[in-house]
């Protein structure tokens, strides 16, 4: 029985690798709050400053690397924190019973869930303008509803004695469960961290009547997001986000450390443009992920890179002359014989690849010479036929 559960854990734990750090930060924050609350004033002031500095640093990184998805999640977090403090100052101890605060809870939840599922696109694009308009519209809507004394709160109890009434707790609970389920399936760095950041934000709202809890949990949410942003940027600089394979930059770095003898193969997806038109970016990303898993399963010891959207580069270290061709052609045959299934497509998808291989020669100055020979062989045969392996 113990071996059975141990086997389950060995299968599950690698799928949760991005959850350990944000979950650990949440646990540490809860322990600090329970053991040391209320925090001294100078600690609260330090956390207050840290909150703004970390969020500004995170926004700066996202602007530099041109990503818009997490930046709006951070903006919603900052606006929520600022408005909670403002409403506490404006209304005093009954702030959580006012329409201002109730509307803030609802609009914050709506903003967090919307930007959680927002596709990641370049920051400097027309989409960012639309999303900014959405944020400004939400703020204006909150002001209008509050001035009209309209409260978006359907709680049966209007005085729950907490920073979150029943309606807000239910909405936060549904949102967090949805996020955690999505994050457990995808296990992306940003998705997982956003889900745990939302848990911190919910606790911050719930215990917002205590200054220590408000600043502590919102700061933890910001730290969680900042670490995720740094990890995400470091990841995309080295890896292909769709497949998790090393990218072209990693290929150039690792090419300097290749052995004296190796085979270099190129795997080109046939009719890639047609596939992109048929299944769009999200579908083609899923297909490329499945193709990459197939290649890795067939050649776990090889070095595999996704250097362009439609091409994989595979290096067989210490491969004897002629053996690389057989190994690469086996990959081609296995992919052609496989069926790939997308959730929204009932029929299985058949994919073929065209390959070329070049073995390292003494006359090759570096890996670029080997790559060029393999690519020329691929281009020469690709003009006339597909689903074939050529040799340089």
Of 24-38, 53-67, 90-104, 121-135, the poorest mean pLDDT is in 121-135
Is 184 a member of any domain? yes
What is the chain's mean pLDDT, rounded? Answer: 86
181 shares its domain with 313? no
pLDDT of residue 74: 93
Structure tokens at 76: 């919603």
Q: What is the mean pLDDT of residues 322-341?
A: 89
Angle at which helix 166-186 crosses helix 189-206, to 10 degrees, equals 160
pLDDT over 70 at 72, yes or no: yes
Is 183 a member of any domain? yes
Percentage of the chain beyond pLDDT 70 is: 94
Structure tokens at 225: 């997001």
Write the pLDDT tens digit of every residue in 106-128: 999 999 999 898 877 777 778 88
Domains contained in the chain, number: 2
Q: What band does 14 get if pLDDT is binned at 50, 70 and 90?
A: very low
110 shares its domain with 174? yes
Confirm if 272 and 310 have CB atoms less than 8 A apart.
Answer: yes
pLDDT over 60 at 13, yes or no: no
228 shares its domain with 256? no
Q: Which of 191, 215, 238 is the last residue of a domain?
A: 238
User: Cα dihedral sign for 313, 316, 318, 324?
Assistant: negative
Q: Where are the alpha helices (DSSP H) in 65-208?
A: 69-91, 99-116, 126-147, 166-186, 189-206
pLDDT of residue 9: 43
Is 7 a member of any domain? yes
Is 225 a member of any domain? yes
Confirm if 335 and 290 have CB atoms less than 8 A apart.
Answer: no
23 shares its domain with 121? yes
What is the CATH classification number for the domain harbouring 360? 3.30.70.270
pLDDT over 50 at 8, yes or no: no
pLDDT of residue 16: 59
Of 2-11, 66-75, 153-162, the poorest mean pLDDT is in 2-11
Confirm if 315 and 295 have CB atoms less than 8 A apart.
Answer: no
Q: What is the mean pLDDT of residues 339-366?
A: 84
361 shares its domain with 225? no
pLDDT over 50 at 10, yes or no: no
334 shares its domain with 359? yes
Q: Which of 238, 272, 306 is the last residue of a domain?
A: 238
Name the residue among 76, 58, 55 with its Cα closest to residue 233.
58
DSSP-derived letter for residue 363 is: T
What is the spatial order of strands in the sheet that 311-317 belongs to? 303-308, 311-317, 262-269, 353-359, 389-391
Which domain does 290 fall in, by range?
248-391
96 shares its domain with 207? yes
pLDDT of residue 12: 43
Q: For the chain, how big is the Rg over CA atoms in Å?
A: 26
363: CB partners within 8 A, 6+ apart: 369
Report the C-alpha dihedral over residues 55, 61, 64, 65, rounded to 10 degrees.
-130
pLDDT of residue 120: 72
Is 243 a member of any domain? no
Structure tokens at 322: 């002629």
273 shares its domain with 158? no
pLDDT over 80 at 77, yes or no: yes
- In SS3 terms, 263-282 reads as EEEEEEECCHHHHHHHHHHH
Q: What is the mean pLDDT of residues 23-41?
A: 92
365 shares its domain with 255? yes
Write the pLDDT tens digit of every residue in 188-227: 888 899 999 999 999 999 999 898 999 999 999 999 999 9
Write the pLDDT tens digit of every residue in 251-307: 888 888 888 888 899 999 988 888 888 888 878 888 898 999 999 999 888 999 998
Q: What is the mean pLDDT of residues 42-68?
A: 91
Q: Which of 170, 205, 238 is the last residue of a domain?
A: 238
Q: What band does 5 get if pLDDT is binned at 50, 70 and 90?
A: very low
Confirm if 392 and 371 have CB atoms less than 8 A apart.
Answer: no
CB burial string 259-269: b at 16+ within 10 A, e below = eeebbbbbbbb
Helix (H, G, I), strand (E, B) or coil at 303: strand
Start-to-end C-alpha separation, the chain = 55
193 shares its domain with 122? yes
212 shares its domain with 295? no
Strand partners, 246: 239, 305
50 shares its domain with 176? yes
Q: What is the mean pLDDT of residues 56-65?
A: 90
Tell me how far apart the alpha carbons of residues 129 and 330 are, in angstroms, rounded to a whole number: 49
Write the pLDDT tens digit of every residue in 129-139: 888 888 888 88
pLDDT of residue 206: 92
pLDDT of residue 44: 93
Angle at which helix 211-238 crosses helix 189-206, to 10 degrees, equals 170
pLDDT of residue 160: 65
Dihedrals phi, psi of 164, to nearest 5 degrees: -130, 125
Tell me how far apart the alpha carbons of residues 10 and 3 are, in angstroms, rounded to a whole number: 10
pLDDT of residue 222: 96
> Cis (ω within 30 of 0) for the bond into 38?
yes
């Amino acid at each position: 029985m113990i071996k059975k559960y141990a086997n389950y854990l060995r299968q599950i734990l690698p799928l949760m690798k991005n959850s350990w750090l944000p979950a650990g930060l949440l646990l540490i924050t809860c322990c600090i709050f329970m053991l040391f609350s209320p925090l001294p004033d100078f600690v609260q002031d330090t956390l207050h400053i840290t909150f703004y500095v970390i969020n500004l640093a995170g926004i700066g990184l996202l602007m530099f690397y041109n990503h818009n998805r997490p930046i709006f999640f951070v903006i919603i977090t900052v606006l929520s924190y600022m408005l909670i403090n403002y409403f506490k100052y404006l209304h005093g101890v009954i702030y959580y019973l006012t329409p201002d605060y109730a509307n803030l809870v609802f609009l914050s939840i709506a903003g967090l869930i919307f930007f959680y599922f927002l596709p990641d696109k370049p920051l400097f694009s027309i989409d960012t303008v639309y999303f900014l308009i959405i944020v400004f519209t939400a703020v204006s809507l909150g002001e209008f509803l509050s001035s009209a004394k309209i409260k978006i709160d359907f709680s049966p109890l209007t005085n729950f004695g907490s920073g979150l009434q029943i309606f807000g707790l239910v909405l936060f609970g549904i949102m967090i469960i949805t996020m955690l389920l999505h994050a457990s399936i995808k296990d992306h760095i940003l998705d997982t961290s956003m889900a745990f950041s939302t848990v911190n934000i919910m606790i911050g709202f719930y215990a917002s009547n205590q200054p220590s809890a408000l600043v502590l949990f919102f700061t933890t949410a910001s730290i969680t997001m900042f670490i995720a942003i740094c990890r995400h940027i470091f990841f995309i600089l080295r890896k292909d986000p769709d497949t998790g394979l090393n990218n072209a930059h990693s290929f150039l770095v690792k090419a300097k450390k290749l052995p004296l003898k190796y085979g270099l193969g190129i795997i080109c997806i046939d009719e890639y443009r047609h596939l992109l038109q048929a299944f769009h970016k999200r579908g083609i990303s899923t297909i490329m992920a499945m193709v990459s898993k197939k290649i890795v399963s067939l050649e776990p010891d090889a070095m595999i890179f996704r250097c362009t959207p439609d091409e994989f580069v595979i290096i067989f270290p210490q491969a004897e002359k002629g053996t690389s061709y057989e190994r690469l052609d086996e990959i081609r045959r296995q992919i052609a014989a496989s069926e790939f299934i997308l959730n929204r497509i009932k029929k299985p998808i058949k994919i073929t690849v065209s390959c070329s291989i070049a073995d390292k020669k003494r006359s090759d100055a570096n890996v670029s010479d080997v790559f060029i020979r393999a690519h020329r062989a691929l281009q020469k045969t690709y003009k006339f036929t597909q689903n074939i392996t050529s040799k340089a």
